[in-house]
Amino acid sequence: MSSFDPARIAIPCAHFIDGRRVVDKGELATVRPSDGATYAELPIADAGVLDDAVGSARKAFLRSEWARQAPRERARIMRRWADLIEADVDYLASLEALGSTRPIDQARAWDVPYTAEGIRFFAEFADKHGGEVAATAHDHLGMQIAEPLGVIGAIAPWNFPLSMTCWKVAPALAAGNTVVLKPSEMTPFTAVRLAELAIEAGMPAGVFNVIQGSGPITGDALCRHPEIAKVTFTGSTATGRAIMGACAETGPKPVTLELGGKSPQLVFADIPDIDRTAQTLAAAITGNAGQVCVAGSRLLIQKPLLESMIERLAASFGTLTPGLTWQEGSRFSPIISSVQLERIESIVARAREAGAELLTGGERFESGLGGCFYRPTILHVNNRHNPAVDEEIFGPVLTIQTFEDEEEALALAEHEVYGLASGIHTADLGRALRAVRKLSAGTVWVNRYGRSNDYILPTGGYKRSGIGRDLGRAAFEANLHHKSVLIDLNP
């Protein structure tokens, strides 16, 4: 039985600095998306708290064993951390479900174990990398030594609070850096629990710190802090631009930016099983109520399939009903906030004014639960440009455009701004591989949509969808820099 009573869940309403919770005065109402109730007053880190957190991370970087010890010891602590996270699944999953859009069944079955696995994955790199010896003249020895960067500033979004924290933090720590994380002010608490478990696993105090606060104040100040060596960020493209500006003005400092998307799915008439493809398409836009960076939000479909696909998608959407995230069996997520709900409504309204035809949905779910829910929606768009095609909606809204042939499909797939992910569904291998070459996206899924649970393939954006990569070896290496050493053998 995974349902739980939200009133019984203790909220770690604090920063986490130098190995302990720092309780501060609450300033920002934190709201449960499922029912709209305020359940905590979040502290906001001021300049003093920020200095404490960065100072503690800097001290841990210079003086603790973290960066200096044998890397296999770091890996051992991180593996133990992952074990403790899994053992804490009851509490962590409840805390995640209570404060975010993640239904409890999914938080237990996916978010918590996936976070633990991510930590294990990156821990493995800690002692499995090295520098290189350079091709020099024989009376020289040239080497490159990989070293951690220092204190990494990490900023995470609200849509998958635990796993996005893992993506940001685990590779940075495995490479020997220390971290100050600012979670989203809308989902701030599971990160504190993660930091506590890290201490329990044996991580030195100050290696992983969490500060709370809003983006434009605390997040901006974190990016600008002189002791921050690099910023790793996941969130919207607009915020990514602001963060890059702050890092340029106060650095330049390197950034990794994982940003927004408007990902197309191309469906050709030769697919062998329309029901299976329909299920994939539906899941790609209704999972987490479309609040997924790689949501498959633009369906491009070959004309003969249009009617039969709409019928199947509408039927599938009709089975989804709102549920409290703390109730077993809830499948369809709330929208994170009333502001985000209004944003979805406004884009759908502008899309219809611009000629999009509403096929299903297009309104709030009046659920009576108190939270914000939006009906899964399909908009048929005839033009190449429409607000619902151009803008990231971050809600359960699917646009459908039709094409005649492969050339037209690939032209429609190209987005002027975003290039995060894409999907192609076809029985023709040659066509799939031609599309793989032509699609401007950091990820192409063929006859599926969405990541597997493996961490090995990097993820990131083409165009304005990002700079750098999360996951894979690339994410680990982005947390290192290289020192060149040249030794004169005949001084």
Please confirm whether the linkage preceding 113 is cis (ω < 30° from 0).
Answer: no
Give the DSSP letter of residue 489. S
Q: At its nearest, how many Å lie between ligand NAD and the CB of residue 168? A: 10
Q: Applying CB under 6 A, which part among 39-47, 74-82, 154-162, 380-388 lies near ligand NAD?
A: 154-162
Q: Applying CB under 6 A, which part among 19-27, 158-166, 342-350, 402-410 lies near ligand NAD?
A: 158-166
End-to-end CA distance of the chain: 73
Beta strands in 259-406 (DSSP E): 264-267, 298-302, 357-360, 377-380, 397-403
Angle, CA of 311, 313 and 316, to the nearest 5°: 110
Residue 309 CA to residue 311 CA, distance in Å, equals 5
The nearer residue to ligand NAD, 77 or 231, going by C-beta atoms, is 231
Instruction: Answer yes or no whether residue 94 interacts with ligand NAD by CB under 6 A.
Output: no
The nearer residue to ligand NAD, 228 or 259, going by C-beta atoms, is 259
Q: At its nearest, how many Å lie between ligand NAD and the CB of residue 231? A: 8
Catalytic member of 166, 223, 247, 293: 293
Instruction: Answer yes or no whether residue 219 interacts with ligand NAD by CB under 6 A.
Output: yes
Residue 373 CA to residue 338 CA, distance in Å, equals 9
Q: At its nearest, how many Å lie between ligand NAD and the CB of residue 353? A: 24
| Bridge partners for 401 per DSSP | 300
Instruction: Answer yes or no whether residue 55 interacts with ligand NAD by CB under 6 A.
Output: no
Q: At its nearest, how many Å lie between ligand NAD and the CB of residue 11? A: 18
Total of chain residues touching ligand NAD, rule CB under 6 A: 33
For 216, the 3-state DSSP assignment is helix
Query: Residue 293 catalytic?
Result: yes
Catalytic member of 117, 258, 392, 406: 258
The nearer residue to ligand NAD, 280 or 297, going by C-beta atoms, is 297
Contact 61, 150 (CB under 8 A): yes
Phi-psi region of 305 (alpha: psi -120 to 50; beta: other; left: phi over 0): alpha
Q: At its nearest, how many Å lie between ligand NAD and the CB of residue 12? A: 17
| Bridge partners for 479 per DSSP | none
Contact 338, 32 (CB under 8 A): no
Q: At its nearest, how many Å lie between ligand NAD and the CB of residue 64? A: 26
Instruction: Answer yes or no whether residue 159 interacts with ligand NAD by CB under 6 A.
Output: yes
Residue 110 C-beta-side C-alpha neighbours within 13 Å: 16
What does the buried/exposed string (b/e) look like for 79-114 if buried means 16 or more CB atoms within 10 Å of the residue's CB? bbbbebbeebbebbbbbbbbbbbbbbbbbbebbbbb
Instruction: Answer yes or no whether residue 216 interacts with ligand NAD by CB under 6 A.
Output: yes
Contact 296, 284 (CB under 8 A): yes
The nearer residue to ligand NAD, 182 or 415, going by C-beta atoms, is 182
Contact 388, 398 (CB under 8 A): no
Q: At its nearest, how many Å lie between ligand NAD and the CB of residue 141? A: 41
Q: At its nearest, how many Å lie between ligand NAD and the CB of residue 26? A: 17
Q: Applying CB under 6 A, which part among 60-68, 196-204, 217-225, 247-255 lies near ligand NAD?
A: 217-225
Interface characters, 234-253, with ligand NAD (x: CB under 6 A): xxx--x--xx----------
Place of tokens 């994955």: 121
Contact 205, 19 (CB under 8 A): yes
User: What residue type is 126 in one-letter code?
Assistant: A
- What is the token pair recorded at 20? 């302990």
Instruction: Answer yes or no whether residue 260 interacts with ligand NAD by CB under 6 A.
Output: yes
Residues 462-481 binding ligand NAD (CB under 6 A) are 466, 470
Q: At its nearest, how many Å lie between ligand NAD and the CB of residue 439? A: 16
Residue from 6, 150, 157, 371 in contact with ligand NAD (CB under 6 A): 157
Contact 116, 125 (CB under 8 A): no
Query: Residue 13 catalytic?
Result: no
Is the four-CA dihedral 91, 92, 95, 100 of positive or negative sign?
Answer: negative
What does the buried/exposed string (b/e) look like for 192-214 if buried means 16 or more CB atoms within 10 Å of the residue's CB? bbbbbbbbebebbbbbbbbbbbb
Q: Return the residue nearest ligand NAD (CB atom).
A: 215
For 115, the 3-state DSSP assignment is helix
Instruction: Answer yes or no whether residue 185 interacts with ligand NAD by CB under 6 A.
Output: yes
Q: At its nearest, how many Å lie between ligand NAD and the CB of residue 42? A: 11
Tell me whether strands 20-22 and 26-31 are parallel, antiparallel or unpaired: unpaired
Contact 335, 33 (CB under 8 A): yes
Instruction: Answer yes or no whether residue 293 interacts with ligand NAD by CB under 6 A.
Output: yes
| Bridge partners for 15 per DSSP | 22
Instruction: Answer yes or no whether residue 155 interacts with ligand NAD by CB under 6 A.
Output: yes
Instruction: Answer yes or no whether residue 392 interacts with ligand NAD by CB under 6 A.
Output: yes
Interface characters, 424-463, with ligand NAD (x: CB under 6 A): -----------------------------------x-x--
Residue 333 C-beta-side C-alpha neighbours within 13 Å: 32
Residue 166 CA to residue 168 CA, distance in Å, equals 5
The nearer residue to ligand NAD, 57 or 475, going by C-beta atoms, is 475
Q: Applying CB under 6 A, which part among 97-105, 123-131, 149-157, 382-390 lies near ligand NAD?
A: 149-157
The nearer residue to ligand NAD, 42 or 309, going by C-beta atoms, is 42
| Interface residues toward ligand NAD, by CB under 6 A | 155-159, 164, 182, 184-185, 214-216, 219-220, 223, 234-236, 239, 242-243, 258-261, 293, 392, 394, 420, 459, 461, 466, 470
- What is the set of active-site residues? 258, 293
